[in-house]
Structure 1
Amino acid sequence: MGGKETLDLEALIRDPRTYGGGGDGPSKPVDTGEPAEKIRTPEASPSPVREGSQSTGFDDQDLMELKSAVDAIFDARKEDGSHEPVEDEPSSPRASSEVVSLGDLPLEEFSLEDVPPEEGPSEDDVLPEDALPEDVPLSSPVPEPHAPSRATRWSSGAGEGDDSEACVTDVGDLGFYSELILPKAATFDVEEFNIKRSTHHDALGVNTLPPEIDQLWAESVPAITEEARAVVAAKKKQTPLGFLSKIESIGSKTQHKSKIEEYDPEVHGPLVDLTFTPPPDVEEVELYPVNEPYAFVRISYDNASHEYSYDVLEPELTAAETELLAEIKERLFERLDISTKDLTREGARKILRDLSDEILTDFGITLTPLSREKIYYTIERDFLGDGLIDAIMYDTYIEDISCDGLDNPIFIFHSGYESIKTNRMYTDAVELDSFVTKLAQRAGKYISIADPILDATMSDGSRIQMTLGKEVTAHGSTFTIRKFKDEPITPTDLIGWGTFSPLSVAFLWLAVEAGKSAIFAGGTASGKTTALNAISLFIPPQAKIVSLEDTRELKLPHSNWIPSVTRESFDTEGKGSIDMYELLRAALRQRPEYMCVGEVRGAEAQTLFQAMSTGHVTYATMHADSVASVVHRLENPPLDVPRNMLNALDVVCIQVQARIGGQRIRRNKQIIEILDIDPRTNELITNEVFSWNQATDEIRYSGKSYILESIIEAKGWSEARMREELKRRQEILEWMRVKNIRHYQDVSKMLISYFRDADTVIGAVRKDLYGNGDGE
């Protein structure tokens, strides 16, 4: 051997950092059993590297000898069946981290052929090992002094430069080392298809599908016609409304001797006075009906205070009409009783009108059609509707309704004007307490002074949080309603609003079909559940889905879908409660192919990741603003998910709520792939596929995706075929946007048709877009 230094290959396999990889202290000698001719040590190479040079500590001969030695050790281990990882010494700084054996890595990826040839630096050009940053792999180029890093490293909040607490690293930081632990990524440019809104395509027509789609749909699954949808809508309107819909008349309904003249707005005039005399510096911005002809909304702007106001316009009663209304209400309470017989809204409305007519007949009072209609509307609003906020509940632009207590105006969150003060206010404590109690009863719940806080779901699916009296809120009873949209948001809406780009939605479409699990993270009201519901439409039509929620928000068109919700206890001891963890355990016994979890925030997180690890595709939401925040929340109480389970997750979508030009918008900030765990640092390796640029309001594709590469390999596609598939799906999504195909049933119809016969669908779409079917 001639006294030459040798390579300790076992030490190198145990910890790749032990030779020139950025570890602490001097490099250890490496023994391969063969002479190493040009082993460089820090003492022998004190000079810094010149600009533009690159050094790994090995020359070409060393690398070939090292590869041969590693192959020999791998072959020996394969023969004797020894693949167990070598544990670190107790004093090793990585003794507490999970150790991954290099023998577990695919041999074909342990290749040195892709290393760029060195330009022959001299021994004086090699940087001393102690001058290398700890997080720079041996095979990575040494960064220039003070040069900005290309990728961002998120830290857990430990001291700056302390990598022991880091949890996430971008794959770009790994350099050549990434090839040892990760497969090759699909790195190719994809044409981003986006029809400008100013083109003629926006005038192609609305809400119509090509005849080819209708025929294909009719041959495969039952068609969703307008008539069928009208029947569904009619049934929805006839849904029982709780105890107020369970009323019936005690006395018999008598026939009136004289026929009552029905109200006709053309003959008797409008119920609501829409004239507006604005105060100084106040101007009307918008006026629109919410429950015509009974309720309208006027939005005005005060130039002095720079505030918007939301005014509900309803029929105004005279003093005599108000007095008569109170008398009729009192008589109605005497004649009405609670019954177990279910009545529809229309049936209850007829009973109220008939009884009111009887009361007026008993008093011998004759009213004009206009006065009678105003009184009847107020009775129906208070008995069957939502009282002071009934008109607001009809407004489809409202997202939240908030009553902060007695003598405080009710605030709403308008999709166009954000938070606005209304002209509605509760001034009577008894009336407010009674209304909160009624809301609880309609939701099938109970609220009292002993238990004054309640979360519930209203009959239309809206979420409501209530407090009763001054036990926990100083201003008296409160309630906050988060309104539920009758029609769920679809991918067409997300693209139309600019929340996602057509290419990013096409990417998620492919990922869902390929069975990739995802978490939608973001702040409050950033659109997490909305995005989850929209992307879930891409789930194959016959797949079994189980959803788990605290309150029903998801709405899917799939027939093989089990929606499940949690249940609170029946008493103060917690008996009979069913939480998310129990629902998840039950769901795993139902053999679902896809699971949708409303929000991950408790002990169910471990079971959720166990489900991911066992092949159940899972989609969930979480409150977090970055991948690092997601990891920290998952790893810490009460979730406590071990880091080695996190690589079962495939995609994280970060949603944000931001402002551009003074307008509030929701955007998909990032789509990030979760790749693996770095065995050296125990950090989660990620790859950013899409990112949102707030300055230009554009969602950009990074050009590299490991998920697309895995789909290419699984389906046996070429890169050209993948480009074509992404283009096809972008064309379909953009075609639905310009054709205004927004209803979730119609969007689902289009997606299922493409799933069954892609060529027919894309041919019809391209014919409509280009006048031919070749996509040109």
Structure 2
Amino acid sequence: MFLTIIDDLFKIIETEKKVNISLTAKKLNVSAQTVTKIARYLEKLGFVIIDYKNIKGPSIIYQRGPEFEFEHIDEVELINKLKFYKNLKDVSSANKLIYDLYKYLKRKDDQETKKVYKNVRKYYIENFMKGIDKKKSADPIKKIESYNIDVDKIEVEVDIVKQELEPVPFYMVFLLRTSEITRLVIEKIKEEVISKISFNVVFKTREEESRIKREYKTMLIDKLKKVFPKISDKKIHLFCDYIILISIGMGEIEFLLRDKHLEEIVVNNSFEPVWVFHKKHGWLKTNIILEQENKIYHYATLAGRNVDKTITVLEPLMDGHLKSGDRFNATISPISTKGNTITIRKFAETPWSITDFIISNTIDYKTAAMIWTAIQYELSILIVGGTGSGKTSTLNVFSIFIPPNQRVISIEDTRELRLPKTLHWVPLTTRLPNPEGKGEVSMLDLIVNSLRMRPDRVIVGEIRRKKEAEVLFEAMHTGHSVYGTLHANTVNQAITRLTTEPIGVSKSLISAVSLFVVQNRNRRTGTRRTFQLAEITESGDPNLIYGYDIKKDKLLKENDPERFYDTLNLFAGLSKKEVDKEINDKIRILKYFTKNKITDNEEIALLISYYYINKKYLMHKIFGGKNQKK
């Protein structure tokens, strides 16, 4: 923990209860002006009173200290509480006490607190962890992962800890390694500077944002240097960058947004911790609480302004996206009865690649090569799966197989696809009506319009309604290759959903889709897998080619493809033997990607473009003489 002059001053005030400003300044080897300035901030916080009428000169009178989970650490009292919880068989309260004590220790980081924690922990282990293997669980709270996030030059420490007898691990983020008293004074400095600077929270241009930040930073540095005369410029700039980051934006949530390991950030109300979904550990509770409903509403309003949307009592639901592209949803009370909510689905900094999919065992070589071949020869494909199964990520991964000399039009509600630069790609997004009900651009509008833009391939974010589906299936029947996503858990469910209301298209139209790829997420393990690959027969029924075996954790062949080969023979003149050879060549290329860990989509796209331009050149480039032997 980094201690400052504020800690030294407050320790003297807390010990002596009343101190003379001039004498205390000499003790601390700083000016009386610095001590007075710090004391004024402490007075605003209610921790002290400044007495200017004292005959011996202005003095500071102690009132109280910062509020913690524990007003004071008393080992006997804490153990007595655990005994009380034991008699009541209240494991939940005992767990909370140990967790709060652990957080307090992380913040205080002194020998006395460590000693108390050690003894209280010992009692907890002996009385609440009976039946648990002590060798495996020597501590009720274990750190299972730790890493740092670099956020605009601020290094933020993240600890993920698991507490025995608690079902959900904790995500602990440590923003400033300072004491609570220093952090609170920094907050007061932030409020003081903000009150003196006028700016719009939604900047029209980047130049305007940069100008305001420079002005803000200049004022902050001036204030901070007066309060912290002894610390280095590096620390001053660290404090300054921290204040700017939490002032212009969504506060502490900004730090969570920069963690590339997170997929979702969820605020349920102002009295529960913020939750996050971690790629490796699943759902976690954070140590961040947005303590006012107004703050949650303010953040929702900020996000809405970025996309010209509002959230009000009359319109209490809002969908949108942040400047970073992250998908944003908000609800306000009383629709969400426990309080205002925010749900952010993070936009991956680096989109998944086919190499990532294969290395993580999401898909195997044979299935990936077959889908590549289908896309090469313009067969339409639907990606099917439940919420969070990775449908859009899969669509983005497979889109890289589209030949670069073909025009691609994508249609989404919120821009999520990121296709490589090698593709001839035009992204379109829908627009909601304005408050007067005008200016709406619907998914159907864009689908109809896209067919007038001479597309070779049409990508649709999600099929939801009958008219959209009918237009898309008509497009398939008239020679356009279409790729899209649909909410369903299996191929059979997908066909049922397509042929019943609210979509309700004729089953005869479904045969226009050549392949269904089903994605699945195991909520217990957090793993995502390609669950099924099926072709659709002329009658609109599925022929399951590959199915996922959960025990073996791999795709197993169910049936031979029939229509797949017939279609390629009819439209490309390829025999089954020639198709199989192409699939095997693609498997070799995919193995080359994984062996050499080529995960950058731009590099993969370039190599795939060589495959279409001059296959012999590519095979010689990556395999050399080995290709001739094959």
Aligned to 2:163: 302
Supply the distance in 2 between the matched residues of 1:274 and 1:488 (Cα, whole angstroms). 40
Query: Greater shift after overlay, 272-281 or 602-611?
Result: 272-281
Q: Which amino acid aligns with 2:507?
A: R
**Pair 1:551-2:414 in alignment:** yes
- 1:648 aligns with one of 499, 512, 537: 512
Q: Which amino acid aligns with 2:194?
A: L
Supply the distance in 2 between the matched residues of 1:750 and 1:274 (Cα, whole angstroms). 54
- 2:596 aligns with one of 739, 743, 746: 739
Q: Which amino acid aligns with 1:523?
A: G
Aligned to 2:306: 442
Supply the distance in 2 between the matched residues of 1:309 and 1:331 (Cα, whole angstroms). 34
Q: How does 1:64-103 map to 2 (within 5 A)?
A: none
Q: How does 1:377-456 map to 2 (within 5 A)?
A: 377-456=241-320
**Pair 1:284-2:143 in alignment:** yes
Q: RMSD of aligned C-alpha atoms?
A: 2.5
**Structure 2-normalised TM-score?**
0.73
Q: Which amino acid aligns with 1:755?
A: Y
Aligned to 1:670: 532
Supply the distance in 2 between the matched residues of 1:759 and 1:774 (Cα, whole angstroms). 10
Contact 1:294 1:377 in 2 (8 A): no
Q: CA shift at 1:364, angstroms?
A: 8.3
Q: CA shift at 1:745, angstroms?
A: 0.6
**Pair 1:510-2:364 in alignment:** no
Q: CA shift at 1:452, angstroms?
A: 2.0
Q: CA shift at 1:700, angstroms?
A: 2.5
Contact 2:193 2:216 in 1 (8 A): no
Contact 1:321 1:371 in 2 (8 A): no
**Pair 1:485-2:348 in alignment:** yes
Supply the distance in 2 between the matched residues of 1:320 and 1:295 (Cα, whole angstroms). 17
Aligned to 1:687: 543
Supply the distance in 2 between the matched residues of 1:735 and 1:594 (Cα, whole angstroms). 28
Q: CA shift at 1:275, angstroms?
A: 6.9
Percent identical pairs in the alignment equals 25
CA gap 1:725/1:340 in 2 versus in 1, 3 angstroms: closer
CA gap 1:721/1:350 in 2 versus in 1, 3 angstroms: same
**Pair 1:496-2:365 in alignment:** no
Q: CA shift at 1:622, angstroms?
A: 0.4
Contact 1:521 1:652 in 2 (8 A): yes
Q: How does 1:330-341 map to 2 (within 5 A)?
A: 330-338=192-200, 340=204
Q: How does 1:33-432 map to 2 (within 5 A)?
A: 280-291=139-150, 293-315=154-176, 316-319=178-181, 322-323=184-185, 325-338=187-200, 340=204, 342-343=206-207, 348-359=212-223, 366=229, 368-369=231-232, 372-432=236-296
Contact 1:325 1:375 in 2 (8 A): no
Contact 1:329 1:379 in 2 (8 A): no
Supply the distance in 2 between the matched residues of 1:535 and 1:525 (Cα, whole angstroms). 17
Aligned to 2:388: 525
Supply the distance in 2 between the matched residues of 1:714 and 1:425 (Cα, whole angstroms). 59
Supply the distance in 1 between the matched residues of 2:602 and 2:305 (Cα, whole angstroms). 33
Q: CA shift at 1:658, angstroms?
A: 2.4
Aligned to 1:46: none
Q: Tell me the SS of whatever aligns to 1:556.
A: coil
Larger radius of gyration: 1
Contact 1:584 1:607 in 2 (8 A): yes
Contact 1:410 1:422 in 2 (8 A): yes
Aligned to 2:440: 577
Q: Which amino acid aligns with 2:541?
A: I
Contact 1:635 1:643 in 2 (8 A): yes
Supply the distance in 2 between the matched residues of 1:341 and 1:372 (Cα, whole angstroms). 28
Supply the distance in 1 between the matched residues of 2:208 and 2:599 (Cα, whole angstroms). 29
Aligned to 2:83: none
Q: CA offsets, 1:535-586, max 9 Å, x none?
A: 1111110111111111111111244211111111101x53221111111111
Aligned to 1:587: 450
Contact 2:379 2:514 in 1 (8 A): yes
Aligned to 2:459: 596
Q: CA shift at 1:716, angstroms?
A: 3.6
CA gap 1:646/1:308 in 2 versus in 1, 3 angstroms: same
Supply the distance in 2 between the matched residues of 1:510 and 1:299 (Cα, whole angstroms). 42
CA gap 1:285/1:374 in 2 versus in 1, 3 angstroms: same
Q: CA shift at 1:318, angstroms?
A: 4.7
Q: Which amino acid aligns with 1:772?
A: K
Q: Tell me the SS of whatever aligns to 1:492.
A: helix
Q: CA offsets, 1:173-214, max 9 Å, x none?
A: xxxxxxxxxxxxxxxxxxxxxxxxxxxxxxxxxxxxxxxxxx
Supply the distance in 2 between the matched residues of 1:766 and 1:473 (Cα, whole angstroms). 58
CA gap 1:726/1:312 in 2 versus in 1, 3 angstroms: same
Supply the distance in 1 between the matched residues of 2:204 and 2:531 (Cα, whole angstroms). 51
Q: Tell me the SS of whatever aligns to 2:414.
A: coil
- 1:697 aligns with one of 553, 566, 571: 553
Q: Which amino acid aligns with 1:555?
A: R
Supply the distance in 2 between the matched residues of 1:453 and 1:444 (Cα, whole angstroms). 14
CA gap 1:391/1:480 in 2 versus in 1, 3 angstroms: same
Supply the distance in 2 between the matched residues of 1:320 and 1:710 (Cα, whole angstroms). 70
Q: CA offsets, 1:721-761, max 9 Å, x none?
A: 33322111001011101211111111101110111111121
CA gap 1:328/1:718 in 2 versus in 1, 3 angstroms: closer
Supply the distance in 2 between the matched residues of 1:519 and 1:331 (Cα, whole angstroms). 54
Contact 1:689 1:703 in 2 (8 A): yes
Could you tell me which runs of 5 or more consecutive residues in structure 2 were left unpaired when the two chains were aligned: 1-105, 122-138
Q: Which amino acid aligns with 1:310?
A: Y
Supply the distance in 1 between the matched residues of 2:620 and 2:479 (Cα, whole angstroms). 35
Contact 2:145 2:161 in 1 (8 A): yes
Supply the distance in 1 between the matched residues of 2:600 and 2:389 (Cα, whole angstroms). 22
More helix by proportion, 1 or 2?
A: 2
Q: CA shift at 1:650, angstroms?
A: 1.2
Query: Greater shift after overlay, 648-657 or 595-604?
Result: 648-657
Q: Which amino acid aligns with 1:286?
A: E
Contact 2:327 2:414 in 1 (8 A): yes
Q: Which amino acid aligns with 2:601?
A: Y
Q: CA offsets, 1:129-161, max 9 Å, x none?
A: xxxxxxxxxxxxxxxxxxxxxxxxxxxxxxxxx
Q: Tell me the SS of whatever aligns to 1:704.
A: coil
Q: CA shift at 1:514, angstroms?
A: 0.9
**Structure 1-normalised TM-score?**
0.60
Aligned to 1:473: 336
Supply the distance in 2 between the matched residues of 1:365 and 1:493 (Cα, whole angstroms). 48
Query: Greater shift after overlay, 408-417 or 340-349?
Result: 340-349
Contact 1:436 1:479 in 2 (8 A): yes
Contact 1:764 1:773 in 2 (8 A): no
CA gap 1:293/1:323 in 2 versus in 1, 3 angstroms: closer
Aligned to 2:101: none
Q: CA offsets, 1:606-631, max 9 Å, x none?
A: 11111111111101100112233222
Q: CA shift at 1:328, angstroms?
A: 4.2
Q: CA offsets, 1:189-241, max 9 Å, x none?
A: xxxxxxxxxxxxxxxxxxxxxxxxxxxxxxxxxxxxxxxxxxxxxxxxxxxxx
Between 1 and 2, higher relative CO (CA 8 Å, sep ≥ 6) is seen in 1
Contact 1:332 1:355 in 2 (8 A): no
Q: Tell me the SS of whatever aligns to 2:344.
A: strand
Supply the distance in 2 between the matched residues of 1:364 and 1:723 (Cα, whole angstroms). 73
**Pair 1:763-2:626 in alignment:** no
Q: Tell me the SS of whatever aligns to 1:727.
A: helix
CA gap 1:333/1:294 in 2 versus in 1, 3 angstroms: farther
Supply the distance in 2 between the matched residues of 1:332 and 1:722 (Cα, whole angstroms). 66
Contact 2:546 2:556 in 1 (8 A): yes
Query: Greater shift after overlay, 532-541 or 718-727?
Result: 718-727
